[in-house]
A and B are shown apart, each in its own frame.
Chain A
């Protein structure tokens, strides 16, 4: 009985048919309509290989474990976001209970452009479903090493930023070259913070990359690296906009290519990200991914206008792809050296300044991030953030994050940092994210009120 149930693939389909960013926005009610038609007509939920689950709402605490939402979680999320994030958690529980062998959260709204601090929506995302899932899996089930492979056409910059300093979360993103597509990042030289160099890997690909190109990257780079990293779990940020009909990008990936990718990658959980060819791609890509995960035959899935061999990569594209693969491979091979060298040149703290632009909400944010390079633990992090929407009010926040397994000295210092900034009238909101004790609190300095999750 248990081995029989274990063989199933868990599926949560939450198309949020009553939620849109705006009526004509790509992230609108209609996005998964034809996918619904296709997978319902296929009768996929009735197959013994597939078990459909009902999503639950994520709790505020699940969000606060990952994000600093300014001013608070309630202001940054809608119920749709809580359901999308909650879906991934429902599947995580089913996986850990052994009810399913893998799971697919076919949900919207997406999340992989959301970063640690959230002032608004960027790249159609408010909160990062994948990162929330990772933090939940580590807190609730004690997983240490997790690999996130981002197969969306856009660079998974939010997920990268959240796990930038974390050597135990390997973030691999392949995507259309940032010179030619939103968010304009994801180059090979973005490879993680000083303690985690080589645990963020970016594989920019030339526009027009085909099934052959992407599978070359998978076979020759991603799969061998995963085999070496030996994660407890492999998660796929499964965007579907590498498809050759996607209106927002320029790649030439097919439904069959996506299905084959998921068969080879064998992710424990897939979370839908982008993909906006609502009629020409999504119904076929989603059917293929579900079948591949469930071990069903996906060879009958085919876009109406697809013929094998329709797209051919030029020699120049091949040269570029192979060169990138070589560069990333070298970063991976040298990762421990890189970390050693970087830490040698740094003192007790590492600082960086960065700017974040929220395209959907037109917000500009300036951040200064400080990481304690602690010999005894992962070290606490502080982030000073100020953000302005157009010429509107400037929101300022000071965020403290204490890692799992924090040492007593980091705990002391982090507490001090938090208390120092509470009542500092130059700062609007102060946050304390204690991942070690799974406690989260924040203070509104203007009203002198403290709350927690």
Chain B
């Protein structure tokens, strides 16, 4: 038996999956001030009368980190940067930062030394300002993290109780400002996240649930709860990720489709391309910060069932705000939900009130209430269709740096529109009809999110950089540097090395059994020529266990 619980914005949904099918569902309203209570409430409801010893796995997805950041409840962090030559750090929107001397270049060579007394001064300044959390991030630290280690060491000595996070442990990919933002968010959320994770573990123990507990990440993968405390920001946006994984679980594999999650105020759109959910290319945007958090590319459009419908100068507009519930559900003004009710496309709420809502709109437009309702629904469908087309176009326009990528990138067209969320059953068929594709509203659409959590498998990424002229390889996130002796290392050998290193990393994170699912998602090799001779090779391999479903679900 698998359990999935998604603590969403309005409700907390839970499902019990057994032998490839959903056997029980439960939900409670979400209380933003006590997420643990909602989570446990839904769990208790779900496992009532169930033999808890048969539970094999519990997966949670929560808005904890999302809320913390949105509400500004993260802990204060001192940001220490070692930027070296390049951009003026003030041109990044990272806020106040302490800038240190020292620099590493793209090859990992030290091009400017650290200044120890400057670091000590920085440490006393930071503790003087009352910070107990520090993010230390150097440019090109993923190619050589000696500077970050040294700064971290000096700071730790000066501030024994401080929590210090180093950039290279957070991401091995290029992009210094994103890495700085991600490191900052990691240390800013770590303590509160750890408290939450520990409380969950205690509560489950108390309920005699001894199965492993996982958390869902923004890339649709799971991670053991106790390991996730090292990377709390990865759990941001796990709600949309849960829905998308749910769609994967509930629809035929290999399809290219648009996932439309229509809620009250917003509609979330995501793409599944040939069975693979599209990831945002460089990482998620969290609040105003661009990060390196791997996340599905989700576009949030400010239009939904409760959006305000208003008429100005004979023109109809829907959204972007919400002024409470639809009129037919006891609200004060007309909404798309009222329009759907009038058109007979849904049976939610009070029909007479819906009629009144549309009559108001009709009076201003000078038409019948039925026509008004049709216009409102058309406006919503128009907007969603427009945004879906934009998403495909943006994907096609993503830059590419190789000839074959530019020549071979085929145009993908959606085969289906898959609806989840409250507004889905009424609106998704209309969106699909406009796009000329099939509409799918899966049977368990309202709890697709919880199903997604229940059956998602772990994900993992490993970035391996090899420089055979310098005789070394480096896995930044692991803080691992190894020796290389073969100057002419082949891609095949490098990929085998990456596979072994990934398996070791997976083992450390408690997901070793999935290492076999890893695939190479990026591989490049360059000969380094100096003068007219080859002096070495540079190889970069990215290996991933991509988002996917548990084998026990897939086989059924």
Binding site for B on A (CB under 8 A): 12-19, 23-24, 28-30, 33-34, 36-38, 40-44, 46-47, 52-55, 57, 79-80, 83, 279, 283-284, 287, 291, 296-297, 299-304
Contact = CB atoms under 8 A, between A and B. Distances in A.
B429 to A, nearest CB: 34
A43 B178 contact: yes
A300 B83 contact: yes
Interface in B502-544: 524, 526-529, 532-534, 538
Nearest to A290: B87
A36 B87 contact: no
A284 B397 CA distance: 27
Interface of B: 83, 85-88, 90-92, 103, 105-107, 111-112, 139-140, 174-178, 282, 290, 397-404, 406-407, 524, 526-529, 532-534, 538
A13 B399 contact: yes
Contact of A44 (B83, B87, B398): B87
20 contacts: A13-B399, A17-B524, A29-B526, A33-B526, A34-B106, A36-B401, A37-B174, A41-B140, A41-B174, A42-B176, A43-B87, A44-B87, A46-B175, A52-B399, A54-B398, A79-B403, A291-B87, A297-B87, A301-B86, A303-B85
In the complex, the 6 A-B pairs of residues with the closest C-beta atoms, listed nearest first:
A37-B106, A304-B111, A43-B177, A40-B174, A297-B88, A41-B174
Given A29-B526, A41-B140, A296 B401 contact: no
Contact of B86 (A18, A38, A47, A83): A38
Nearest to B406: A83
Contacts of A53: 397, 399
A43 B175 contact: yes
Interface centre among A17, A44, A287, A301 (most CB of B within 10 A): A17
Contacts of A43: 87, 92, 175-178, 290
Contacts of B105: 283, 304
A19 B533 contact: no
Nearest to A14: B401
A40 B282 CA distance: 10
A13 B85 CA distance: 21
B399 A300 contact: no
B528 A16 contact: no
Given A17-B524, A41-B175, A46-B178, A30 B529 contact: yes
Contacts of A15: 401
A118 to B, nearest CB: 20
Contacts of A297: 87-88, 90-91
Contacts, number: 115
A211 to B, nearest CB: 17
Contacts of B524: 17
Nearest to A255: B85
Nearest to B142: A41
Given A15-B401, A30-B529, A304-B85, A38 B406 contact: no
A28 B529 contact: yes
A57 B88 CA distance: 35
A244 B87 CA distance: 22
Contacts of B282: 46
A329 to B, nearest CB: 37
Given A46-B282, A304-B112, 4 more contacts: A17-B524, A79-B403, A296-B88, A297-B91
A283 B175 CA distance: 15
Given A24-B529, A287-B86, A297-B88, A17 B176 contact: no
A41 B168 CA distance: 13
A18 B403 contact: yes
A423 to B, nearest CB: 38
Contacts of A291: 87
Interface centre among A15, A299, A304 (most CB of B within 10 A): A304
A84 to B, nearest CB: 10
A29 B524 CA distance: 11
B86 A42 contact: yes
A397 to B, nearest CB: 29
B106 A299 contact: no
Contacts of B107: 34, 279
Contact of A41 (B88, B106, B112, B534): B106
Contacts of B398: 54
Contacts of B290: 43, 46
A30 B403 contact: no
A145 B384 CA distance: 45
A116 B105 CA distance: 41
Contacts of A28: 527, 529
B174 to A, nearest CB: 4
B176 A23 contact: no
A380 B398 CA distance: 43
A44 B105 CA distance: 16
A85 B238 CA distance: 43
B85 A30 contact: no
A63 B401 CA distance: 22
Contacts of A30: 526-529
B244 to A, nearest CB: 24
Nearest to A297: B88
Contacts of A83: 403, 406
A55 B400 CA distance: 8
B181 to A, nearest CB: 10
B518 to A, nearest CB: 24
B399 A38 contact: no
A47 B264 CA distance: 33
B94 to A, nearest CB: 10
B224 to A, nearest CB: 32
A42 B140 CA distance: 9
Interface centre among A33, A46, A47 (most CB of B within 10 A): A46
Contacts of A36: 401
A14 B405 CA distance: 11
A19 B407 CA distance: 14
A40 B175 contact: yes
A54 B282 CA distance: 16
A296 B175 contact: no
A89 to B, nearest CB: 14
Contacts of A299: 88
Given A30-B527, A46-B290, A18 B92 contact: no
B172 to A, nearest CB: 12
B532 A24 contact: yes
A122 to B, nearest CB: 20
Contact of B407 (A13, A38, A79): A79
A388 B335 CA distance: 76
Contacts of B404: 18
B410 to A, nearest CB: 15
Nearest to A280: B105
A283 to B, nearest CB: 6
A300 B88 contact: yes
Nearest to B105: A304
Contacts of B400: 54
Contacts of A301: 85-86
Contacts of B534: 24
B70 to A, nearest CB: 21
A300 B175 contact: no
Given A42-B87, A54-B398, A24 B139 contact: no
Contact of A23 (B83, B401, B527): B527
A300 B83 CA distance: 10
A390 to B, nearest CB: 22
Contacts of B106: 34, 37-38, 41, 279, 283
B251 to A, nearest CB: 30
Interface centre among A19, A40, A79 (most CB of B within 10 A): A40
Interface centre among B90, B174, B534, B538 (most CB of A within 10 A): B174
Contacts of B83: 300
A28 B530 CA distance: 12
B44 to A, nearest CB: 45
Nearest to A306: B85
